[in-house]
């Protein structure tokens, strides 16, 4: 076991990130060491804070006050309204958390939601999202986005692209890479010795032998056969509409889907509040709550911390798996 802290990057100050981080610390602070990176003035009023200058000051759970690596963002936050002037501070908090996790000073980084438009306006942010930025900070290692809850793990092979662009984006090399990273991640981060990955078809009924699309026949099946020969346990391509019921989920450890909604609809239906975003392939553990900045409720004190709590608990579990 390991007892190093998990660091939480502040995310977009105008969103619910500071609130759910504070609530998650209140729920977990007696059980695990945590530290928050950001401007303490952006935390909810009344949050007990212990400003630290070095993560080594967090030597165990801190139930009385949230340890904070305080960084001055230069101005207060306005809940619900992103300030591009905070963009560099947001990105610096992520980068600092990555440095701490990659160096072994922290067990993991858990990232609060960002607001990409503010990062573009204030810091010329050039990445599609958190996942790609983290990959760049880690040296452009190949990474995979996984969404996970207690009863399901899903990986979308393609992420934030229009549905009409998915068939062209799906290539044999892409599938090989996603399967390889997913397989390794299930072993390293989840402690599954010989994982099984169920692979969805792209088309309805997995193409129905070419009657409803041919991608399954053209290359998906061939890639799966090739990787089975390398010793990876794969099932599919399967009709996506029958992969996610309770009985089916007992037969695999993760589901590889061909596009964003094919993966995210089932997991958000099964556990809308408790899903966790995991980045597989990084040399450190990274998780995040599976929700956005929620500007509409920011500052109202009503944000649900369930996903942040689950993200911190999963980060700790993944760190244990890596330490074994």
**What string of pLDDT tens digits covers the 324 residues of the chain?**
568 999 999 999 999 999 999 999 999 999 999 999 999 999 999 999 999 999 999 999 999 999 999 999 999 999 999 999 999 999 999 999 999 999 999 999 999 999 999 999 999 999 988 999 999 999 999 999 999 999 999 999 999 999 999 999 999 999 999 999 999 999 999 999 999 999 999 999 999 999 999 999 999 999 999 999 999 999 999 999 999 999 999 999 999 999 999 999 999 999 999 999 999 999 999 999 999 999 999 999 999 999 999 999 999 999 999 998
CATH of the domain at 310: 3.40.718.10
Q: What integer pLDDT is reported at residue 324 of this predicted model?
A: 80
> Is residue 174 located within the same domain as residue 53?
no
> Is residue 214 located within the same domain as residue 310?
no
The reply to whether 276 falls in a domain is: no
Within 10 Å of residue 245's Cβ, how many Cβ atoms? 10
Q: What integer pLDDT is reported at residue 2 of this predicted model?
A: 63
Range of 286's domain? 1-143+281-324
> Is residue 262 located within the same domain as residue 180?
yes
> Is residue 155 located within the same domain as residue 137?
no
CB 247, CB 280: distance < 8 Å: no
144: left (phi over 0), alpha (psi -120 to 50) or beta: beta
> Is residue 28 located within the same domain as residue 84?
yes
The reply to whether 107 falls in a domain is: yes
> Is residue 100 located within the same domain as residue 24?
yes
> Is residue 71 located within the same domain as residue 158?
no
- In order of 59, 67, 315, the CA distances from 56 in angstroms are 7, 11, 19
CB 29, CB 310: distance < 8 Å: no
The reply to whether 263 falls in a domain is: yes
Query: Is the pTM here over 0.75, yes or no?
Result: yes
């Amino acid at each position: 076991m390991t007892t190093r802290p998990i660091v939480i990057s502040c995310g977009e100050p105008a969103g619910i990130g500071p609130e759910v981080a504070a609530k998650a610390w209140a729920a977990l602070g007696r059980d695990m060491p945590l530290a928050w990176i950001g401007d303490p003035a952006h935390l909810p009023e009344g949050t007990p804070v212990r400003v630290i200058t070095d993560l080594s000051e967090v030597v165990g759970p801190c139930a009385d006050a949230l340890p904070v690596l305080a960084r001055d963002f230069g101005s207060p936050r306005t809940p619900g309204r992103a300030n591009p002037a905070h963009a560099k501070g947001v990105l610096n908090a992520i980068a600092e958390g990555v440095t701490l996790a990659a160096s072994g000073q922290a067990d993991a980084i858990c990232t609060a939601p960002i607001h990409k438009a503010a990062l573009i306006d204030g810091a010329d942010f050039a990445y599609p999202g958190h996942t790609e930025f983290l990959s760049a900070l880690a040296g452009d290692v190949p990474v995979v986005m996984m969404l996970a809850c207690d009863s399901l793990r899903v990986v979308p092979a393609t992420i934030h692209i229009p549905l009409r662009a998915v068939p062209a984006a799906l290539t044999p090399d892409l599938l090989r890479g996603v399967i390889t990273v997913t397989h390794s991640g299930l072993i390293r981060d989840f402690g599954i010795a010989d994982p099984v990955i169920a692979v969805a078809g792209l088309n309805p009924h997995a193409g129905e032998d070419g009657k409803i699309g041919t991608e399954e026949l053209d290359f998906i099946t061939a890639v799966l056969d090739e990787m089975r020969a390398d010793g990876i346990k794969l099932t599919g391509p399967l009709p996506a509409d029958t992969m996610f019921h309770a009985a089916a989920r007992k037969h695999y450890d993760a589901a590889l889907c061909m596009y964003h909604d094919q993966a995210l609809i089932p997991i958000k239906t099964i556990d809308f509040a408790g899903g966790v975003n995991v980045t597989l392939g990084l040399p450190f553990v990274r998780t995040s709550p599976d929700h956005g900045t929620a500007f509409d409720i920011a500052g109202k004190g009503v944000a649900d911390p369930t996903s942040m709590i689950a993200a911190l608990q999963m980060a700790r579990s993944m760190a244990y798996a890596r330490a074994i």
